[in-house]
Homo-oligomer: A and B are copies of this chain.
Amino acid sequence: MTQLSEIGEFGLIATIAKNFAELIPHECSGIGDDCAIIPIGKDKSLVVTTDMLVEDVHFLRDRITSYELGYKSLAVNLSDIAAMGALPHSTFLSISLPSDISIEWCEGFFAGYRAHNVALLGGDTTKSTEKITINVTAIGTVDNENIKLRKGAKAGDKIYVTSTLGDSAGGLQSILQNRPNKELIKAHNLPRPHIAEGLELSVNKNVTAMMDISDGLASDIRHILEASNVGAKIELSKIPISNTLLNSGLNAMELALTGGEDYCLLFCAAPDAEFAKYRQIGEITSSNICKIVWCEHDIPTERSFDGFTHF
């Protein structure tokens, strides 16, 4: 018997994708981007994504309010919709609950979920023996010409992020170490999906590749590099880090590069484009294919960083 941990999450996904490849309708695009793409009509597509949150893996029941959990369950999916440059259309929610959950808990959960003002069109409510599991499927709409993918980054492109990094991971540390830091915990429990940013970038033809940061910059940017068959040079001094995280006593740079659940956008754009609102953190290279060269003041460092992986 081979344990799942030997091939890991991405190994499992690769195996699945290979086995199902021939079933994918020719007009659709499936596993490999933030969302699957289902064309509707001539000029438009639906994008679809799904995410599962498991108690004691993705959250601790007594460290997050049910409002925050409801908010976050949908936020992580809306972030994937944003990453495609799409507008959220509707959602589906499945939730399994142990019988000791109160109606008040449920009310809080649905108030948080509803705060995003996106339609809930269906779902499944069921019992569990002990733990809470939540699965959301979200659907968005997008004009075909505005869809942003992970592939498309070209050597010379600049690399940007739409907000500071690491606050959410700092929040998780703050929760686990019982050193409550309100602002960081808010970043972790109530992550804002960057929908407006995604829509704005979707209509900009200079943007060549886009995704959201959910497993941490160091892990996620590899998806763009692999899909685009390019390399990247990242300048550590340009990584945007909040003062809150810098002053928290935590390892801010490590968290900013490898901490998960930031749910901001990571994008590449042609070198002559300007994005005053967003922070440029590096550039795409034609050398070091699929690799990241971390630089400090333009000099490559020996440090290595890895993002979060499941299993």
Give A264-311 interface residues, CB cut-off 8 Å to B: 310-311
A52 and B94: CB pair below 8 A? yes
List the B residue with the shortest CB-CB distance to A97: B4
A126 and B52: CB pair below 8 A? yes
Of the 9-residue stretches A116-124, A163-171, A199-207, A227-235, which lies at the interface with chain B?
A116-124
B36 and A94: CB pair below 8 A? no
Bound state CA distance, A118 and B41, in angstroms?
Answer: 21
Cβ of A100 under 8 Å from chain B? yes
A3-B100, A50-B135, A119-B25 are contacts. A125–B94 as well, Cβ < 8 Å? no
Cβ of A146 under 8 Å from chain B? no
A31 and B122: CB pair below 8 A? yes
A28-B121, A96-B57, A121-B30 are contacts. A38–B6 as well, Cβ < 8 Å? no
Cβ of A133 under 8 Å from chain B? yes
A100 cross-chain contacts in B, Cβ below 8 A: 3
A40 cross-chain contacts in B, Cβ below 8 A: 40-41, 46
How far is the CB of A11 from the nearest CB of chain B, in Å? 9
Bound state CA distance, A48 and B89, in angstroms?
Answer: 13
- Bitwise, A78-94 to B at CB < 8 A (1) or not (0) is 00000000000110111
A25-B90, A311-B127 are contacts. A38–B2 as well, Cβ < 8 Å? no
List the B residue with the shortest CB-CB distance to A111: B19
A119 and B48: CB pair below 8 A? no
Central interface residue in A46, A106, A123, by most chain B CB within 10 Å: A123
A50 and B124: CB pair below 8 A? yes
A23 and B120: CB pair below 8 A? yes
Cβ of A62 under 8 Å from chain B? no
Interface residues of A (CB under 8 A from B): 1-7, 9, 12-13, 15-16, 19-20, 23-25, 28-31, 35-36, 38, 40-41, 46, 48-52, 54-58, 89-90, 92-97, 99-104, 106-107, 110, 114, 117-131, 133, 135, 137, 139, 310-311
**30 residue pairs bridging A and B, Cβ less than 8 Å apart:** A3-B101, A4-B99, A4-B106, A9-B126, A12-B106, A16-B110, A16-B123, A19-B114, A23-B117, A23-B120, A24-B90, A29-B121, A31-B120, A31-B122, A35-B122, A38-B89, A40-B46, A46-B46, A48-B122, A50-B92, A50-B93, A50-B124, A55-B129, A57-B126, A57-B128, A58-B126, A92-B137, A127-B311, A128-B131, A129-B131
